[in-house]
Every structure is written in structure tokens, then in C-alpha cells.
Amino acid sequence: IMSHKPTVAPALADEATRAQSINFEIDVGESFRKHNPDLCAAYGKTPMTRDYAENGKAARFYRQKEASLAHGYPATLLLQGGLLYATAFYTARAQGLPNPHLFFKSHWFDWIQFFKRGAAIGVFGGLVLGTVLFGDTEISLRRIRSRYNRLKYVERYEATEGQPIPFTNK
């Protein structure tokens, strides 16, 4: 059996050896960007073309800012402070203090009654009113539902003495 080796014209052989000796570096991405500027104009500006490093950016933002967005802080904090002062003024007026604006200097000021009213009206009432006026009620309701579901799950987990609980939405 004879082996057959194809013959190549000498000019083509020189061209082939020269092409093999050159290292070509082709950047397909850069070439695509040059030839398709209309497709690449919005790259990185839409949710579909985000970088992998930005995937958790929204989650990190909401982890830090969700409570203040939900309850409308710092405006709610100012409202709560105003309501606390108003409850102190109301308590001093109800006691009959001569100058209710200086309640904190009075020896006879009823601090226990003020703490009761302040907790109910100033803190809790201010939080609810500030959430409705300045906050995002949808986020607040989702946060409440999440806390409730977590507490319900803990109660069910403790009731089964640590056994796995099948997931049900009951």
C-alpha cells in the first residue's frame, strides 16, 4: 500500500506557514459593539443586562432602608415626638398644673400617667399615623405578614418538638 501525500503549490504553502506563525487575537465583543451600535447603546441600562455584581444590590438596599421606607421616617419620628409632647401637655392640663408647658420642671407631674398615654398615643399611634401619612402601607403590611408567619412557624415548630414540618399555607 502506498501512502498518498497531496501536493500543494509552493505559493500556497508559504502562505499557510506564514498564517500559522501569526497569533491572531480577535475580540468578538468589541467587533460586535463596533458593528451593532444600535443594539449596544442601552447595554447595562436595562434589568436584563445587569452585571452579576449588581444582582444583590436591591436586596442590600431594602435590607437597610425597608423599615424607614415602610414607616415614613424621619417624618414619622417628628410626628411621634410632637404627639409625645402633646400627651405630656394634656396630662399636665388634666392635673391642673399652673404652667403646662413646663411640665418637666413640676414636682407634681404624673409621670406614670404620661408614660401610659405616651406609649399608646405618642409611640404606637404616631407610628400608625406616620405610616399611613408618610410611609408605604404596602411594604408595612408585607412586613407585618412576614413577622406573623415567622411567629406562627416557630409556634408550630415548638408544638412538634423539633420534628420537620411539611410546608402548608394554613
As separate numbers, helices (DSSP H) first and strands (DSSP E) second, the chain gives 8, 0
Q: Rounded distance, CA 100 to CA 51, Å?
A: 60
Q: How far apart, in whole angstroms, are the C-alpha atoms of residue 51 and residue 83?
A: 47
Task: Say if residue 12's pLDDT is above 70.
Answer: no
Residue with cell 402601607: 137
pLDDT tens digits along 61-103 = 888 888 888 889 899 999 999 999 999 989 988 888 878 778 7
For the whole model, what pTM was predicted? 0.54
**CA-wise closest residue to 84 among 56, 114, 109:** 114
Range of 43-47, 129-133, 155-159 with top mean pLDDT: 129-133
- Average pLDDT of the chain is 77
Beta carbons within 8 Å of 44's beta carbon, 6+ residues apart: 50, 51
Give the range among 36-45, 56-65, 114-123, 125-134 with minimum mean pLDDT: 36-45
157 or 152, which is more confident: 152
| CA atoms of 139 and 136, how far apart (whole Å) | 6
Q: What local confidence, expressed as pLDDT, does residue 31 receive?
A: 75
Identity of the residue numbered 80:
Q
- Report pLDDT for 6: 54
pLDDT band at 18 (very low <50, low <70, confident <90, very high): low
Q: What is the pLDDT of residue 48?
A: 61
Centre a 10 Å sphere on the Cβ of residue 77 and count the other Cβ atoms it contains: 16
Half-sphere exposure of 44 (CA within 13 A, CB side): 4
Residue 45's pLDDT is 60
Instruction: Mean pLDDT check: name the lowest of 4-13, 60-69, 92-101, 158-167.
Output: 4-13
Provide CB contacts within 8 A for 83, sequence distance 6+. 121, 122, 125, 126, 129
Query: CA-to-CA distance for 156 and 150, rounded, in angstroms?
Result: 10
- Peptide bond between residue 166 and the one before it cis (omega within 30 degrees of 0): no
Rounded Cα–Cα distance for residues 75 and 130 (Å): 7
Q: Is the pLDDT of residue 143 over 70?
A: yes
